[in-house]
Structure 1
Amino acid sequence: MDDIATGGTAADMDERIPRKLIGSIFAVGSLAFFGILTETVMTVLFPELMRELHVGTATVQWITTIYLLSVAVTMPISSYLKRRFPLKGIFVAAVILAVAGCVIMIFGRSFPVLIVARIIQGVGSGIATPLMINIILEQSPRSKIGRLMGVGSLVITVAPAIGPTVGGAVSSVLPWRAIFVLIIPVMAVSLIVGLFCIEQRTPTQSAQLNPLQFIAIVLGLAGLVMALNQAGVAIGAAADGGSYATAASIACASLVVGVLALLFFGYSSKRSFSPLIRLGILRDPVVLLHLLAYGILPMVGIGFGYVITNLAQLSLGTNAFLAGALVLPGALIGAFFAPVGGMLYDRFGPTRPILTAFAVAIVGPVLLLVFSMRLTPELLAGFYFIFGLSYALGYSNIMTSALSAIPPQFTPDGNAIFNTMLQFGGAAGTTLFSTVLTIAQAGAGNEGSSSFAHATAVGGAWTFAVMAVICVAAFIALAFAFRIRSLRGKRDKAISHM
C-alpha cells in the first residue's frame, strides 16, 4: 500500500531507472566519450604535428593508427575482464590509463613518446566502452533498456563526429596540448562519480585468460587494421606515381598474419573450456546478420567526419573551423535523438524503428551523390543532417536487438564482439574513403587549384556512391534478420499450439 500511495506498484518501482545507474552511465560514458573523441580530434591536428615533430604524412598517421590498433586489441578481452574482475576495479584501471595517456601527451616532446601515450589511451578507451554497454545491459530495467542503450550510443556516434570540430576550435585559440589538459578534470569528476555509483550486481568468476588466444586475437586484429592502413598508403602512393612496393608488401604480409591468427583463434575457441570470447552466438544467423550491419555502418557513420571536413576544405574552399562545424548539426541532433530511438525500440520493438531509420538514412548519401558536383557548404551539412539523424535513431538499437536474442550469460561476449566490429568498421571506413579521395586527386595539380578542387569533388561523388551501397547492404542484412526472427516466432507459436 505504501508503494501505491507514493507513486506506483512494486512492478512500477522495479522499472524505474536507479539514480546510481544514471551516475554509473555518466561516469563510464564520459570516460569512453573522451577516449573516442581523441580518436578523430587528432586528424585535424596532423599539419601542426608534422611541423612540430618534423615528420611526414605517412608517419604522422600513426598517431591515429596506433590508437585504433590499441582499442581494437583491447575490446575483445572485455568479456574476460567483466567475468574476472569487479566493475569498479575495471573502471578505475580505465581512468588511470586515460589520465596517464593525457599527461604524456601534454609533456611529450618527441614522436615516439606520443605514440606510447596513444597506445595507453587506446587501451583505456578499449576498456571503457564495452564496460559502459555491459553496465547498461546488466542493470537496466527491461522496459528502459532501449532508451539507455540510446544514451550509451551518444558516445559511439557523437564523439567521433564532433572530434574534427573540437580539434579545429581548440587549436585555433590554444596550443593543441590544451585539449588533453581540459580532459583531465572531466576524468577526475568521472572517477568520483563512478566510485560512488558503480555497483556489482553479479559475482565475479574464476575465468582464465588463455595466452595463446589473446596473442591470436591481438595479431589478428592488428594485422587486419595494419593491412587496411598500408593498403591505403600503397594505393595512394601508386596513384601519385610514387613508390608503393614497401607499403604493399607490408599490407599483404599483415593481411596473411591477421587472417591466419583469426582462423587459429576461432579454431582454438571451439576447443577451449574457457575461451576468451565465446563465439558460439555467431552460429545464429539473426545475430550474424545484425553483426554484419553493425560492423559496416560505422564505415559511413565515422567516415563522414573525414569526408566532409576534407571535401569542404579541398573542394569548397572553406577553412578548417567551418569544415569541422558542418558536421555539428547532424552530430548534435543525433545526440538528442539517440535516446528517442531507444524509446521507440522499447515501445514498438526492433523491426519498425530500425528499418525505418535506415531506409531514411540511405537518402543522405544518395542526395550527396546526386548533388556532388554542385555542392555548397549548406547542402553538405543539410544532407549529412538527414543521415546523422536517422543513423542516431537506429544504430544503437541494432546491438540491443541482437543481444536480446542470446542468453544473458553470453551478453558480455556479444558486447565484446559487437564493439570490436564497430571499431574495426570505423577504421576501415576512414582508410577506404581517404584512399578513394587520394585516387581521384592523383595527377590533378597542386592543392588550391581549380583542377584539384574538381578532382576532389569527383572523389566525393565516388565516396558517396560507396556510402549509399554500404547503407543498402546493411538495410538488406537487417531486413533478412528480422524476416528470420519472424518466421521463427511463427514456427514456435505453431508448435506451442500443437
Structure 2
Amino acid sequence: MSSQPDPSRTATPNPADERIPAKLIGAIVAVGSLAFIGILTETVMTVLFPQLMREFHVDTATVQWITTIYLLTVAATMPISSFLKRRFRLKSIFLAAVALALVGSVIMIFAHAFPMLIVARIIQGVGSGVATPLMMNIILEQSPRSKIGRLMGVGSLVITVAPAIGPTVGGAVTTVLPWRAIFVIAIPLMLVATVVGVLCIEQKSSTEAAYLDPLQLGTIIVALVGMVLGLNQAGVAVSAAVAGEPVGSSAVVAAVSVVAGLAALGAFCWLTKRAFSPLLRLGILRDPVVLLHLVAYLIMPIVSIGFGYVITNVAQLALGTNAFLAGSLVLPGALIGAVCAPLGGWLYDRFGAVRPVLVPFGIAILGPVLLFVFAMDLTPAMLAGFYFIFSFCFALGNSNVMTSALSSIPHEFAPDGNAIFNTALQFGGAAGTALFSTILAVAQAGHGSEGSPEFMHATAVGGSWVFATMIVICVAGWISLAAAFRIRASRRG
C-alpha cells in the first residue's frame, strides 16, 4: 500500500503561483465563519435539550428534531451547491446564505412555540447548506495546488470543531443568559463576516446557463427526508413498545418513509443518469476508490456529530451535572481539534493520504472503546478524557478524507464531488443524532422520571449501547478507507 502523494501535488511549483492570496484567505474566513456559526448554533442546542423539553413540554424523541431537522435541511440543500456554483456568482450565493441565516436567527429569538423553532432551524439549515460547500468550492477552485491539503484542513476545521465546541458555548452562555441570547450574539458576528466576504470574495470562473430540474431536486429531498424520518419514527415506535404504549402510527410512518425514501433515491439516480444537465454527476461514484471514501465520510459523522449530543445528555441525565459542566466536557477535544485539522492537511500535502488518514482514525477508535468499557462507572473527567482521544485523532484524519477522494476525479467534477461528500456528511450527522437519541430513549423508557436514580441508571445503560454502536461504525469506516487505499495502490503498482 503506497503512501506517496499524487504526482499533481509533487510537481515543482512556481513559487509565485503557490502563494496564498490575501483575498482568498479573507474569502475563506468570511464564508467559513458563516458556516461555522451555522454549525455552532446547531450543536449549541444539544446541551439545551433538557431545558427545551421542560420549556416546550416535549419528550426526548421530539426535542431532538431541533437538531435533526437542521441537519436534514442542510443535507437536502447541499446537492444543489454544484448547480448554484455553475449558475450564480460566488458573492451572490454568499449574500443569500447570510440573509437566510439572519432570518432564521431572528425567528429563534422571538419564537415561543416549538413549531416555530423548527421553522427557524429549517431556514438556518438552508443557509448553512449553501455556505459550507461554497467555502469548499472556493478552496478547491482558487487555492494553490501545493497548499490545497492545508486549506482543506482549515475548511474541515469548521465542520469538525464547530460541533464540538457548540455544547460548551451553549452551556456557558445559558449559565448567565437566556438561551435565546446565543442567537442575539450570532447576528453581529454574521454581519462582520458579510463585510469581509463582500470585500474579499472574487469570481475566478464564469457562470453558465445551468438548469435546475425540479424533479431531480424533489426526488433527492424526498429520499433524504424519508430515510431520516423513517429512522426517527422507527425509534419512536420502539421506545413506545418498550414503554408498553401503542406503536401503530409510528410504525406505519416509519415503514412508509423508508420505502418512499429508498424509492426516491432510486428515482434520483435514474433521472440523473438520463439527464442532459444532472443535478449531481453521480458517475464519479463508479470509481470504487471514490465510493469507499464516500462510505467512510457518510458513517464517521454519525459518531463525530453524535458525540456532542451523547456526552452532554449522558452527563446531565446519567451523571447529574449542570448544563455548563456538561458542555465544558467537550471543550478540550474541541480545542485540540482546532489545531489538528490544518495539521492533518499539512501532513497530507507532505506524505499523501494513507498514513495521515489510517493511523489517526485507527487510534480514534480507542475513544469509544474506553467509553464502552467504563460506561457504568463514568465520571465527568472520564467522559472528557475519552472524548479527547477520539476528537484529537478524528480531527487529524478526517480533514483528508474528502481531499483524498477528490484527488481521484477530474478537476471539472470537483464541485459535484464536493456536493456529494458534504451531503453525505450532513446526512450522516442527521442520522446519527436520530439514531443515538433513539437508543437513549429506548433505554430510558419505563424507568421513571428525569432525575430519579432509576432513570439515571437507564441513561447510563443507553450510553453503553451508544458507545458500542460507535465502535462498530468507526471500525467500518476504517476498513472502507483501507480498502480504498489498497485499490489505489494496486493501480499504481
Match of 1:494 in 2: none
Match of 1:254 in 2: 257
User: Is 1:463 paired with 2:466?
Assistant: yes
Which AA in structure 1 matches 2:87?
A: R
- Alpha-carbon shift at residue 54 of structure 1 (Å): 5.0
Moved more, 477-486 or 145-154: 145-154
- Alpha-carbon shift at residue 197 of structure 1 (Å): 0.6
Match of 2:23 in 1: 20
Match of 2:7 in 1: none
- Alpha-carbon shift at residue 56 of structure 1 (Å): 5.1
Match of 1:3 in 2: none
- Alpha-carbon shift at residue 289 of structure 1 (Å): 0.2
- Alpha-carbon shift at residue 472 of structure 1 (Å): 0.8
State the secondary structure of the residue aligned to 1:236. Answer: helix
Match of 2:122 in 1: 119
After superposition, residues 380-395 of structure 1 pair within 5 angstroms as 380-395=383-398
Give 1:300's match in structure 2, choosing from 303, 309, 312: 303
Moved more, 404-413 or 372-381: 372-381
Which AA in structure 2 matches 1:215?
A: G
Match of 1:215 in 2: 218
User: Normalization by structure 1: what TM-score?
Assistant: 0.93
User: Is 1:242 paired with 2:217?
Assistant: no
User: Is 1:345 paired with 2:376?
Assistant: no
Which AA in structure 1 matches 2:357?
A: I
For the residues of structure 1 that align with 2:194 and 2:404, how far apart are their CA atoms?
A: 31
For the residues of structure 1 that align with 2:87 and 2:266, how far apart are their CA atoms?
A: 26
Q: Is contact 1:72-1:222 (8 Å) kept?
A: no
For the residues of structure 2 that align with 1:253 and 1:285, how far apart are their CA atoms?
A: 31
User: Is 1:264 paired with 2:277?
Assistant: no
Which AA in structure 2 matches 1:321?
A: F
Which AA in structure 2 matches 1:404?
A: S
For the residues of structure 2 that align with 1:44 and 1:388, how far apart are their CA atoms?
A: 18
After superposition, residues 84-483 of structure 1 pair within 5 angstroms as 84-483=87-486
Instruction: Say which one has the larger Rg.
Output: 1
Q: Is contact 1:72-1:420 (8 Å) kept?
A: yes
Q: Give unpaired runs (5+ residues) of structure 2.
A: 1-11
Q: Is contact 2:73-2:125 (8 Å) kept?
A: yes
CA change 1:205–1:486 in 2 (3 A) is: same
CA change 1:411–1:315 in 2 (3 A) is: same
Q: Give unpaired runs (5+ residues) of structure 1.
A: 1-8, 491-498
Which AA in structure 2 matches 1:14?
A: D
For the residues of structure 2 that align with 1:252 and 1:10, how far apart are their CA atoms?
A: 55
Match of 2:47 in 1: 44
- Alpha-carbon shift at residue 236 of structure 1 (Å): 1.7
For the residues of structure 2 that align with 1:276 and 1:306, how far apart are their CA atoms?
A: 33
- Alpha-carbon shift at residue 57 of structure 1 (Å): 4.8
For the residues of structure 1 that align with 2:277 and 2:150, how far apart are their CA atoms?
A: 33
Q: Is contact 2:68-2:431 (8 Å) kept?
A: no
1:213-270 CA distance string (max 9 Å, x none)? 0111111111112112212222222222222221221111111111111111100111
Q: Is contact 2:70-2:125 (8 Å) kept?
A: yes
1:274-299 CA distance string (max 9 Å, x none)? 10000000000000000000000001
State the secondary structure of the residue aligned to 1:207. Answer: coil
- Alpha-carbon shift at residue 346 of structure 1 (Å): 0.4
For the residues of structure 2 that align with 1:204 and 1:233, how far apart are their CA atoms?
A: 46
Match of 1:493 in 2: none
- Alpha-carbon shift at residue 70 of structure 1 (Å): 1.7
Runs of 4+ in 1 over 6 A off after TM superposition: none
State the secondary structure of the residue aligned to 1:12. Answer: coil
- Alpha-carbon shift at residue 420 of structure 1 (Å): 0.6
- Alpha-carbon shift at residue 162 of structure 1 (Å): 1.7
Q: Is contact 2:27-2:196 (8 Å) kept?
A: yes
Moved more, 241-250 or 399-408: 241-250
Which AA in structure 1 matches 2:313?
A: N
State the secondary structure of the residue aligned to 2:19. Answer: coil
Moved more, 159-168 or 149-158: 159-168
State the secondary structure of the residue aligned to 1:447. Answer: coil
Moved more, 450-459 or 472-481: 450-459
Moved more, 359-368 or 46-55: 46-55
The two structures, once aligned, show a CA RMSD in angstroms of 1.6
For the residues of structure 2 that align with 1:329 and 1:46, how far apart are their CA atoms?
A: 22
For the residues of structure 2 that align with 1:82 and 1:470, how far apart are their CA atoms?
A: 33
Which AA in structure 2 matches 1:86?
A: R
1:390-412 CA distance string (max 9 Å, x none)? 00001020000000100011111
- Alpha-carbon shift at residue 373 of structure 1 (Å): 2.3
1:22-68 CA distance string (max 9 Å, x none)? 10110000100111112221233334444544555554443333322
Which AA in structure 1 matches 2:445?
A: A
Moved more, 43-52 or 357-366: 43-52
- Alpha-carbon shift at residue 434 of structure 1 (Å): 1.7
1:93-134 CA distance string (max 9 Å, x none)? 101111111112222333343332222111101000010111
Give 1:80's match in structure 2, choosing from 55, 80, 83: 83
State the secondary structure of the residue aligned to 1:201. Answer: coil
For the residues of structure 1 that align with 2:414 and 2:340, how far apart are their CA atoms?
A: 25
Number of residue-to-residue matches in the alignment: 482
Q: Is contact 2:68-2:434 (8 Å) kept?
A: no
Moved more, 32-41 or 107-116: 107-116
Percent identical residues: 71
State the secondary structure of the residue aligned to 2:408. Answer: coil
Higher normalized contact order (CA 8 Å, seq sep 6+, divided by chain length): 2
Which AA in structure 2 matches 1:384?
A: Y
For the residues of structure 1 that align with 2:132 and 2:158, how far apart are their CA atoms?
A: 8
State the secondary structure of the residue aligned to 1:17. Answer: coil
CA change 1:89–1:352 in 2 (3 A) is: same
